Structure 1
Amino acid sequence: MEQKSPLEPSEKAIVLASSSTIGVDADVQLEGVHLTDILNSVIATLTVFYLLSWLDRTNLGNARVAGLQKDLRLTDNQYSISLTVTLVPYLCAELPVNLLLKIVGPNVLLPTLMTLWGIVTTLHGTVNSFGGLLACRFFLGLFEGGMLPAIVLYMSLFYPRSKLQQRLSMIFSASSLAGAFSGLLAAAILHMDGIGGKRGWAWIFILEGLFTVIFGIISFFIIPESVGQCTLLSAGEKEYVLKRLREDGAISQDASADSFAWKEVFQAFRLPHVWFTLCIFFFNGIILYSLGYFTPSIVQALGWNGIQAQLMTVPPYAVGFVVTNVGSYIADHYQRRGVVIIICAACLTAGFSMFLRSHNTSVQYGSLFLTISGINAAAPAITSWIANNTTPHVRRASAIACACVMTNTGGILATWLLGSLSPPPRYTDATIVLLVSSIGFGVAAALNLVYLWNQNKRKAKIRAMGIKEEEPEGLGDRSAWFTYIL
């Protein structure tokens, strides 16, 4: 009987890796380094990026409850203006940052942006006027604006399409974690009121901003530029991972297809599924920012004050964290992103209906569990959906950036909904807008699901004819051999 020769270490790595899909948490040994350890370190770092991004963006709501609005003598309109000013530079930064990501390198661009917005967050603790607050909010939005689309684009180059949402969920659930953590952290920091002549709300900005700066500097030494530039992997191992990603459609088969071209930027706007998804992102922005910025105010209007109000924001976000990860596991396992989004829309519709119709404080507080869980669980699903279904690189970068622009456009409307245009404690007009947005959210998702399903049927008929060589080059996701994820 012929004896088989033992495999070399690098060959063993390929055999072990080939039994699984790159991105699955398999124990794959690569020259003394676990591939999953490398990927998990990337996820962990980006999760902290997004957690701090959300924390630094929304801690103004905690500071408001802690006395910022009173100390700076801000009217409700001025407070809304300060929120709006944050989101305007967001809109301007998102597409340029995504297009620059490949040129500058995510290992340089992302830590730089983080360090800069951390400095600006810290400076929030020194403001003593409306004008100073506006300046800080503008530069916070400018430096933080490109972070989310860049993270999504970056992650889409590391994981197969079928495994992306679960990994993005780990990052996006940081917003739920940040929502819970911000309440606990604010409650703790408020005990520093008066130290150094600073109010408690000022210490919220100073301490959270300093931590962001420190982590931003450390992250220069953590995240790799790309799979191909990861120094912990050998040349053969890099090629193996890239091959698997090309086969999955996560990256283009032809590297030249991923080079920058304005044509690909505009191609993104010729795709019907991109437009359906942009509508979803707009409604998502209205709801996400309304809850992100105003949950402490809503809780305060329900009868809790001070530190107790901060602490009561924690449970809904803690539940949202769990629901987000469970929903993403289901979406990846069954490859049904659209269905998960529609279920989230149903939770939102039920939650806002409860808040609108009930006069019971406990019921209204309970509705936050549905709405916060629904919007947070939807975020990784819709983001994965647009990242999964657009290629090549520049087209995907443009679609993701424009999706985030739509989110922040909805966010601008949200900054005026609660408080300025709809007073507490009922927030009636605002809740009606949020309810309508939830319904629109679900309808747009259903239409997109039907469109993608029909396109996959059409593509399957073309593939059955076996005429791939007759397709023109550069079709990207419009190719019959590119199957949309539903």
Structure 2
Amino acid sequence: MDSPNPLLFELPAHPLPLTMMEKSEDIESGKTASVDSSSDFRRAVEDPAMEKRVWRKIDLYVLPIVAMFYLLSFLDRTNVANARVAGLQTALKMTNKEYSIALTVTYVPYIATELPSNLLLKAVGPNLMLPTMLTIWGIVTTLQGVVKTYSGLLACRFFIGLFEGGLFPGLVLYLSYFYPRHKMNLRVSAFFSSASVSGAFSGILAFAIIKMNGVGGLQGYNWIFILEGLFTVAFGISAYFTLPRSVDKCWFFTQEEKNYVNARLLEDEVRDEAGFSWREVIEATKLPQVWFLAVAYFLDGTVLYGLAYFTPTIIQGLGYTAARAQLMSVPPFAAAFALAMVCAYISDHFRCRGIITIASSLLCVIGFAMFLGSKSQAVQYGSLFLSISGTYVTAPTLSAWGSNNAAPQTRRATAIAIGFIMTNSGGILATWLLGSLSPAPRYTKATVTLLIFSVLMALFGAINLFYLWSQNKKKAEMRKATTKDQEDPGVGNHSAWYIYNL
């Protein structure tokens, strides 16, 4: 069990707030719940059996739903790559440029909705907002399977982006309602790694679904959209009944367990604000660590979406048939999932987000260098194991790292949203890099660009690591000269007692 915070014993003897906020309002009854006493808080934090039980329950009841949300998000956004290989581009008579435009159209509303949706999440309630988003984009994905024209495809891609846009930053923020900072990376990686699972799963699904070519007068690529979209709709509807709004609403917790989790979340925070504040939105934009990581997010987004959208096409360019290319895309994504989970455990256990970011970025460098420098089909295919694994380790690590080092909640929500706005801006660049600016099958210009971006990812990871380390040194000196009670309320991550996660 983690060692109790020594500052814990300075807490007042009056009832403590229940959640990471100053209060947790019971939405249905309007009542405010609270932990029984500070002595209960101390006993809870010192209870190893409780410590193990509560996180296991959240891992069992909440995390799988979150992971499935993101798997379906990634699957429904990127299955256009499998559909392209299965005949979409030919059927709609699209040029490579028009294909890139179709992908880009997805990201315009996607980026525009990320910050407002994250700020709305708490007000609307994640148990309502997230399933609604999932259900609506599932309907649009299904309709994408019956479009007959290029303009129809563009309309569908726009609305998929509109309703998916707030999901990933929303899920990261949602998990921060349940887990302390040092437990976040493993959980974020667990649900983000479902993206790599979707990369593998989509290849297997596409291989099977395209055998339905001709059924109902539709081509195989039509059925890819229809069947995967219908499953998303069904899961979205079921999530209304399974996704808890907050710790206080977790049906699987006893009251004692709710008190324990909320006490741990409170211990992890520094004077959180009770509601939305535009001042905190602006404050988030002033944090250097937000912008160091924002650059890394953009770089990694370009690499990530470049590989997500074009891996089947890249493999087909190595000489494999369309059906074979679908299957050959599975192993690199499966390897990425395994490595991401191992690195997430290391990152959480040793609290070394920066080192993992640098190492995984360098893995991408090696992969792209291999693809660029070799003419061997086997080596080029093998390089995908390194580049895909590297970027699928980097992305969740950056997500957890950014979430870990901004507080209070509105400031954190804004920081997370900024990161994902930059990630998806990189996605726009990726659609053009491999879509029409760099010819297949070698993709030389794109590969050189992605190699350079991978080097820069490692560099900005190192810059952020050094900055946070230097700030922690300054905070250590500040703690010698002041007490926690002397700080102004609402300082959040600027508090001398808020130690940045490295």
Which TM class, normalised by the smaller chain length? Answer: over 0.9
C-alpha separation in 2, matches of 1:14 and 1:460? 25
The residue that corresponds to 2:31 in the other structure is none
The residue that corresponds to 1:288 in the other structure is 304
The residue that corresponds to 1:71 in the other structure is 91
C-alpha separation in 2, matches of 1:383 and 1:258? 24
The residue that corresponds to 1:19 in the other structure is 47
> Which range moved further: 177-186 or 226-235?
226-235
Alignment of 1:438-477 (within 5 A): 438-477=454-493
AA at the equivalent of 1:206: I
> Which range moved further: 240-249 or 279-288?
240-249
Name which of 40, 63, 71 aligns with 1:43.
63
The residue that corresponds to 1:242 in the other structure is 262
Contact 2:44 2:260 in 1 (8 A): no
Alignment of 1:18-417 (within 5 A): 18-20=46-48, 26-27=52-53, 36-249=56-269, 252-254=270-272, 257-417=273-433
C-alpha separation in 1, matches of 2:290 and 2:201? 34
AA at the equivalent of 1:97: S
The Cα of 1:236 is off from its aligned counterpart by 4.1
Contact 2:271 2:491 in 1 (8 A): no
The Cα of 1:281 is off from its aligned counterpart by 0.3
The Cα of 1:169 is off from its aligned counterpart by 1.2
C-alpha separation in 2, matches of 1:213 and 1:39? 24
Q: Residue 127 of structure 1: SS of its match in structure 2? A: coil
Deviations 1:398-428 (A, max 9, x none): 1101110000001100000113000111101
Give the TM-score, by structure 1 length: 0.93
CA-based RMSD of the aligned residues comes to: 1.8
The Cα of 1:248 is off from its aligned counterpart by 1.8
Name which of 443, 450, 473 aligns with 1:427.
443
The Cα of 1:253 is off from its aligned counterpart by 4.0
The Cα of 1:468 is off from its aligned counterpart by 2.6
AA at the equivalent of 1:360: S
The Cα of 1:12 is off from its aligned counterpart by 12
Tell me the matched-pair count: 464
Unaligned runs of 5+ in 1: 1-10, 29-34
C-alpha separation in 2, matches of 1:27 and 1:98? 30
Q: Residue 285 of structure 2: SS of its match in structure 1? A: helix
Q: Residue 241 of structure 2: SS of its match in structure 1? A: coil
C-alpha separation in 2, matches of 1:131 and 1:280? 34
C-alpha separation in 2, matches of 1:446 and 1:297? 33
Q: Does 1:436 align with 2:436?
A: no
The residue that corresponds to 1:31 in the other structure is none
AA at the equivalent of 1:112: T
C-alpha separation in 2, matches of 1:82 and 1:193? 23
Contact 1:258 1:394 in 2 (8 A): no
AA at the equivalent of 1:415: T
The Cα of 1:359 is off from its aligned counterpart by 1.2
The residue that corresponds to 2:16 in the other structure is none
AA at the equivalent of 2:135: T
Contact 1:320 1:376 in 2 (8 A): yes
C-alpha separation in 2, matches of 1:21 and 1:485? 26
AA at the equivalent of 1:67: G
Q: Residue 403 of structure 1: SS of its match in structure 2? A: helix
Contact 2:99 2:435 in 1 (8 A): no
Deviations 1:44-74 (A, max 9, x none): 0000000000000000000000000001100
Identity %: 53
AA at the equivalent of 1:349: V
The Cα of 1:239 is off from its aligned counterpart by 2.5
The Cα of 1:13 is off from its aligned counterpart by 12
Give the TM-score, by structure 2 length: 0.90
The Cα of 1:15 is off from its aligned counterpart by 6.1
C-alpha separation in 1, matches of 2:498 and 2:48? 21
Deviations 1:134-191 (A, max 9, x none): 0000000000111000000000111111111111111011011000000000000011
C-alpha separation in 2, matches of 1:405 and 1:260? 20
Deviations 1:13-38 (A, max 9, x none): 9968743497x6x246xxxxxx6234
Contact 2:271 2:408 in 1 (8 A): no
